[in-house]
A = this chain, B = another copy of it.
Amino acid sequence: MTTAKSDTLASRIGKTLADRIISGAIEAGARLRQDHVAEEFGASHVPVREAFRLLESQGLVVSEPRRGVRVAGFTREEVREVAEMRAALEALALRHAVPHMTRAILDQAEEANRAGDRARDVHAWEAANRKFHGIILAPCGMPRLLKAIDDLQTASARFLFSGWRAEWEAPTDRDHRAILDALRAGQSELAVSVLARHVQTIGQKRPK
């Protein structure tokens, strides 16, 4: 998750805070105080407020008027909700991506999948996993849909990093391979249904 040097200050602060929330460095329910954040970044609180709004739109914090923002909690129910939404939207995206799918794209996806195999820590694995999903869905050419999926993937990653899920390699990789195989064989609907089931299982692992 690169902290793009060029962007506006608010979005840079937002991205950094997002990383911390996702990685669990800031725990759920913690209050974020604009002055403290501003001081840390050597900025004033105006861009900090805007960063908060960005995080709010991604569902990473909740904001009560006049009472500040706090890191959004995520109950098992919410995790399930995100997983179901992801399943529905990624299925939609894949259906629209299929007509534009090329051999080259599938090869890229396979490479991302192999990178996931090689990953030693959860962060590297998550990056590869997100890349895989991104590669096979991007050809749908629906920017709003892709943005929504990306936000949901961020929420999922938060769940993943929380340590609730201990094991993550084997079943996911099998699913990824099955999806690629189905796509290569031209069995789009099979690929879609495997993807949908695959995404849903993410939310169904038992807490630690």
Supposing A50-B53, A53-B53, A57-B53 touch, asked if A145 and B8 sit within 8 A by C-beta, the answer is no
Chain A residues touching B, range? 20 to 34
Q: Is the pair B65, A7 in contact by a Cβ cutoff of 8 Å?
A: yes
Query: A142 an interface residue at 8 Å Cβ cutoff?
Result: yes
Query: A92 an interface residue at 8 Å Cβ cutoff?
Result: yes
Q: Is the pair B144, A81 in contact by a Cβ cutoff of 8 Å?
A: yes
Closest to A65 in B: B8
- A56: chain B residues at CB < 8 Å are 57
- A81: chain B residues at CB < 8 Å are 142-145
Q: Is the pair A66, B144 in contact by a Cβ cutoff of 8 Å?
A: no
Supposing A7-B65, A46-B46, A57-B53 touch, asked if A144 and B88 sit within 8 A by C-beta, the answer is no
Contacting B at CB under 8 A, from A53-105, are: 53-54, 56-57, 59, 65-66, 78, 81-82, 84-85, 88-89, 91-92, 96
CB distance from A40 to the nearest CB of B (A): 21
CB distance from A186 to the nearest CB of B (A): 22
- A66: chain B residues at CB < 8 Å are 8
**Per-residue CB proximity of A22-56 to B under 8 Å, as 1/0?**
00000000000000000000000010011001101
Closest to A63 in B: B8
**Per-residue CB proximity of A124-156 to B under 8 Å, as 1/0?**
000000000000000000111100100000000
Partner of A84, one of B7, B8, B54, B92: B92
CB distance from A66 to the nearest CB of B (A): 7
CB distance from A53 to the nearest CB of B (A): 4
Taken together as a complex, chains A and B put the C-alpha atoms of A26 and B57 apart, in Å, by 24
CB distance from A78 to the nearest CB of B (A): 7
Taken together as a complex, chains A and B put the C-alpha atoms of A89 and B8 apart, in Å, by 32
Q: List 29 A-B contacts (CB under 8 A).
A: A7-B65, A8-B65, A11-B65, A46-B46, A46-B49, A49-B50, A50-B50, A53-B53, A53-B54, A53-B57, A59-B144, A78-B144, A81-B142, A81-B144, A82-B144, A84-B92, A84-B96, A84-B142, A84-B145, A85-B89, A85-B92, A85-B144, A85-B145, A85-B148, A88-B88, A88-B89, A88-B91, A88-B92, A148-B148
